[in-house]
Amino acid sequence: MANGRQASAKRMKMAERAQQQMDVHFPNFHPAWIWTRKTNDGFFTVPRTMPVVMQTIDAQTKGQPAGHTLLCLWARAPDHPVITIENPATFAAEAGFIGERAVDTWRKRMRQLRDLLFIQTKPGASGEFHYVLLVNPNAAVEWMRTQGKVQDLLYGRFVDRLVEVGAYGEIEALREFWQSQAAANAAAAAQASVIVPPPPIQEKEA
Protein backbone atom coordinates (compact mmCIF):
# COMPACT_ATOMS: atom_id res chain seq x y z
CA MET A 1 0.00 0.00 0.00
CA ALA A 2 2.88 2.32 0.81
CA ASN A 3 4.36 1.78 -2.64
CA GLY A 4 1.02 2.75 -4.18
CA ARG A 5 0.93 6.01 -2.23
CA GLN A 6 4.54 6.77 -3.18
CA ALA A 7 3.84 6.16 -6.86
CA SER A 8 0.73 8.34 -6.69
CA ALA A 9 2.70 11.15 -4.99
CA LYS A 10 5.42 10.85 -7.63
CA ARG A 11 2.87 11.17 -10.45
CA MET A 12 1.40 14.23 -8.75
CA LYS A 13 4.81 15.87 -8.52
CA MET A 14 5.45 15.12 -12.20
CA ALA A 15 2.08 16.59 -13.16
CA GLU A 16 2.69 19.71 -11.06
CA ARG A 17 6.11 20.19 -12.59
CA ALA A 18 4.70 19.73 -16.10
CA GLN A 19 2.06 22.36 -15.38
CA GLN A 20 4.74 24.78 -14.18
CA GLN A 21 6.72 24.18 -17.36
CA MET A 22 3.62 24.73 -19.45
CA ASP A 23 2.91 28.01 -17.68
CA VAL A 24 6.44 29.16 -18.54
CA HIS A 25 6.96 27.77 -22.04
CA PHE A 26 3.42 27.54 -23.44
CA PRO A 27 1.43 30.27 -21.67
CA ASN A 28 -2.13 31.09 -22.77
CA PHE A 29 -2.33 28.01 -25.04
CA HIS A 30 -6.03 27.63 -25.83
CA PRO A 31 -7.68 24.67 -24.03
CA ALA A 32 -9.33 23.57 -27.29
CA TRP A 33 -5.89 22.36 -28.40
CA ILE A 34 -5.14 20.50 -25.16
CA TRP A 35 -6.20 16.97 -24.26
CA THR A 36 -6.29 15.85 -20.62
CA ARG A 37 -8.28 12.97 -19.19
CA LYS A 38 -9.58 15.19 -16.40
CA THR A 39 -11.52 17.30 -18.89
CA ASN A 40 -11.78 15.15 -22.04
CA ASP A 41 -13.70 11.94 -22.62
CA GLY A 42 -12.57 8.80 -24.41
CA PHE A 43 -9.37 7.76 -22.64
CA PHE A 44 -7.99 4.36 -21.65
CA THR A 45 -5.48 3.09 -19.11
CA VAL A 46 -2.29 1.50 -20.42
CA PRO A 47 1.02 0.48 -18.81
CA ARG A 48 3.71 3.12 -19.30
CA THR A 49 6.01 0.40 -20.62
CA MET A 50 3.77 -0.13 -23.67
CA PRO A 51 6.08 1.60 -26.22
CA VAL A 52 8.92 -0.76 -25.31
CA VAL A 53 6.51 -3.69 -25.15
CA MET A 54 5.39 -2.95 -28.71
CA GLN A 55 9.00 -2.82 -29.84
CA THR A 56 9.68 -6.27 -28.38
CA ILE A 57 6.62 -7.66 -30.15
CA ASP A 58 7.55 -6.11 -33.49
CA ALA A 59 11.13 -7.37 -33.18
CA GLN A 60 9.84 -10.90 -32.66
CA THR A 61 7.21 -10.70 -35.43
CA LYS A 62 9.36 -9.17 -38.17
CA GLY A 63 7.56 -8.83 -41.47
CA GLN A 64 4.22 -9.10 -39.65
CA PRO A 65 4.54 -6.64 -36.74
CA ALA A 66 1.80 -7.16 -34.17
CA GLY A 67 2.60 -4.43 -31.64
CA HIS A 68 0.04 -1.97 -33.00
CA THR A 69 -2.62 -4.69 -33.00
CA LEU A 70 -2.08 -5.11 -29.25
CA LEU A 71 -2.33 -1.37 -28.64
CA CYS A 72 -5.66 -1.31 -30.51
CA LEU A 73 -6.98 -4.04 -28.22
CA TRP A 74 -6.01 -2.02 -25.14
CA ALA A 75 -7.67 1.05 -26.63
CA ARG A 76 -10.92 -0.93 -26.84
CA ALA A 77 -10.71 -2.47 -23.36
CA PRO A 78 -13.50 -1.28 -21.01
CA ASP A 79 -11.02 -0.61 -18.17
CA HIS A 80 -11.09 -4.38 -17.65
CA PRO A 81 -8.83 -7.08 -19.11
CA VAL A 82 -11.64 -8.93 -20.93
CA ILE A 83 -12.81 -7.74 -24.35
CA THR A 84 -15.76 -9.11 -26.32
CA ILE A 85 -15.16 -8.74 -30.05
CA GLU A 86 -18.48 -8.65 -31.86
CA ASN A 87 -17.10 -7.36 -35.17
CA PRO A 88 -13.55 -8.42 -36.09
CA ALA A 89 -13.65 -6.15 -39.17
CA THR A 90 -13.76 -3.09 -36.90
CA PHE A 91 -10.68 -4.22 -34.98
CA ALA A 92 -8.90 -5.10 -38.23
CA ALA A 93 -9.57 -1.64 -39.66
CA GLU A 94 -8.37 0.10 -36.50
CA ALA A 95 -5.18 -1.96 -36.62
CA GLY A 96 -4.57 -0.61 -40.12
CA PHE A 97 -5.55 -3.61 -42.24
CA ILE A 98 -7.64 -2.95 -45.34
CA GLY A 99 -8.85 -4.91 -48.32
CA GLU A 100 -10.52 -8.28 -48.74
CA ARG A 101 -8.01 -10.06 -46.51
CA ALA A 102 -8.02 -7.47 -43.72
CA VAL A 103 -9.69 -9.72 -41.15
CA ASP A 104 -7.48 -12.68 -42.09
CA THR A 105 -4.39 -10.51 -41.63
CA TRP A 106 -5.67 -9.28 -38.27
CA ARG A 107 -6.32 -12.86 -37.13
CA LYS A 108 -2.73 -13.80 -37.98
CA ARG A 109 -1.49 -10.94 -35.78
CA MET A 110 -3.84 -12.05 -33.01
CA ARG A 111 -2.41 -15.57 -33.17
CA GLN A 112 1.08 -14.11 -32.87
CA LEU A 113 0.04 -12.14 -29.78
CA ARG A 114 -1.48 -15.29 -28.30
CA ASP A 115 1.64 -17.32 -29.03
CA LEU A 116 3.69 -14.67 -27.20
CA LEU A 117 1.25 -14.75 -24.21
CA PHE A 118 0.05 -11.15 -24.58
CA ILE A 119 -3.53 -12.38 -24.93
CA GLN A 120 -5.62 -15.44 -24.15
CA THR A 121 -8.67 -16.19 -26.28
CA LYS A 122 -11.92 -18.15 -26.40
CA PRO A 123 -14.11 -18.70 -29.48
CA GLY A 124 -17.64 -17.35 -29.73
CA ALA A 125 -20.23 -16.03 -32.14
CA SER A 126 -17.74 -13.88 -34.08
CA GLY A 127 -15.17 -16.64 -34.41
CA GLU A 128 -11.85 -17.63 -32.89
CA PHE A 129 -11.26 -14.36 -31.05
CA HIS A 130 -14.71 -13.52 -29.69
CA TYR A 131 -13.46 -13.33 -26.09
CA VAL A 132 -10.01 -11.89 -25.42
CA LEU A 133 -8.16 -11.64 -22.12
CA LEU A 134 -5.45 -8.98 -22.04
CA VAL A 135 -2.46 -10.38 -20.17
CA ASN A 136 -0.18 -8.03 -18.22
CA PRO A 137 2.26 -7.04 -21.02
CA ASN A 138 5.10 -6.69 -18.52
CA ALA A 139 4.64 -10.33 -17.53
CA ALA A 140 4.48 -11.37 -21.19
CA VAL A 141 7.78 -9.62 -21.99
CA GLU A 142 9.42 -11.32 -19.01
CA TRP A 143 8.17 -14.69 -20.26
CA MET A 144 9.53 -13.88 -23.73
CA ARG A 145 12.89 -13.16 -22.13
CA THR A 146 12.94 -16.60 -20.49
CA GLN A 147 12.34 -18.10 -23.93
CA GLY A 148 15.20 -16.16 -25.54
CA LYS A 149 12.79 -14.02 -27.55
CA VAL A 150 13.92 -10.55 -26.37
CA GLN A 151 17.18 -8.92 -27.39
CA ASP A 152 19.50 -7.66 -24.65
CA LEU A 153 19.15 -4.04 -25.76
CA LEU A 154 15.35 -4.10 -25.70
CA TYR A 155 15.23 -6.01 -22.42
CA GLY A 156 17.57 -3.53 -20.81
CA ARG A 157 15.37 -0.68 -21.97
CA PHE A 158 12.31 -2.54 -20.70
CA VAL A 159 13.79 -3.09 -17.22
CA ASP A 160 14.97 0.53 -17.02
CA ARG A 161 11.45 1.72 -17.77
CA LEU A 162 9.93 -0.69 -15.25
CA VAL A 163 12.19 0.68 -12.53
CA GLU A 164 11.48 4.25 -13.60
CA VAL A 165 7.70 3.85 -13.29
CA GLY A 166 7.91 1.75 -10.11
CA ALA A 167 6.64 -1.46 -11.69
CA TYR A 168 9.66 -3.74 -11.28
CA GLY A 169 7.88 -5.44 -8.38
CA GLU A 170 5.55 -7.03 -10.93
CA ILE A 171 8.46 -8.96 -12.41
CA GLU A 172 9.73 -10.01 -8.99
CA ALA A 173 6.24 -11.29 -8.08
CA LEU A 174 6.06 -13.20 -11.36
CA ARG A 175 9.43 -14.87 -10.74
CA GLU A 176 8.32 -15.86 -7.23
CA PHE A 177 5.16 -17.37 -8.71
CA TRP A 178 7.21 -19.37 -11.21
CA GLN A 179 9.48 -20.62 -8.43
CA SER A 180 6.55 -21.72 -6.26
CA GLN A 181 4.92 -23.34 -9.30
CA ALA A 182 8.12 -25.25 -10.09
CA ALA A 183 8.42 -26.38 -6.47
CA ALA A 184 4.81 -27.58 -6.43
CA ASN A 185 5.32 -29.47 -9.70
CA ALA A 186 8.52 -31.08 -8.36
CA ALA A 187 6.72 -32.14 -5.18
CA ALA A 188 3.85 -33.60 -7.18
CA ALA A 189 6.27 -35.48 -9.43
CA ALA A 190 8.15 -36.84 -6.41
CA GLN A 191 4.90 -37.98 -4.82
CA ALA A 192 3.83 -39.69 -8.04
CA SER A 193 7.13 -41.56 -8.24
CA VAL A 194 6.74 -43.12 -4.79
CA ILE A 195 5.79 -46.77 -5.14
CA VAL A 196 3.43 -47.90 -2.43
CA PRO A 197 3.48 -51.70 -2.05
CA PRO A 198 0.11 -53.40 -2.01
CA PRO A 199 -1.14 -54.88 1.27
CA PRO A 200 -0.26 -58.54 1.86
CA ILE A 201 -2.71 -61.16 0.70
CA GLN A 202 -4.17 -62.98 3.62
CA GLU A 203 -4.34 -66.72 3.18
CA LYS A 204 -7.72 -68.28 3.72
CA GLU A 205 -8.01 -70.65 6.60
CA ALA A 206 -8.26 -74.27 5.55
Tell me if 119 sits within 8 A of 73, measured CB to CB. Answer: yes
pTM: 0.84
Per-residue pLDDT of the chain (206 residues; tens, 9 = 90+): 455 566 566 666 888 999 899 999 999 999 899 998 888 999 999 999 999 999 999 999 989 999 999 999 999 999 999 999 999 999 999 999 999 999 999 999 999 999 999 999 999 999 999 999 999 999 999 999 999 999 999 999 999 999 999 999 999 999 999 999 999 999 888 888 887 777 777 766 65
CA distance between the termini of the chain: 75
Annotate 94-149 with three-state secondary structure: HCCCCCCCHHHHHHHHHHHHHHCCCEEEEEECCEEEEEEEECCHHHHHHHHHHCCC
Q: What is the pLDDT of residue 27?
A: 92
Residue 20's contacts (CB-CB under 8 Å, 6 or more residues apart) are none
Phi, psi of 80 (to 5 degrees): -155, 150
Please enumerate in sequence order all residues whose Cβ is within 8 A of that of 22, keeping only pairs 6 or more positions apart, or say none.
29
Whole-number CA gyration radius for the chain = 24
| Res 206: pLDDT | 56
Domains of the chain with CATH codes: 61-135 (1.10.10), 136-178 (no CATH)
The tens digit of pLDDT for each residue in 11-69 reads 668 889 998 999 999 999 998 999 988 889 999 999 999 999 999 999 999 899 999 99
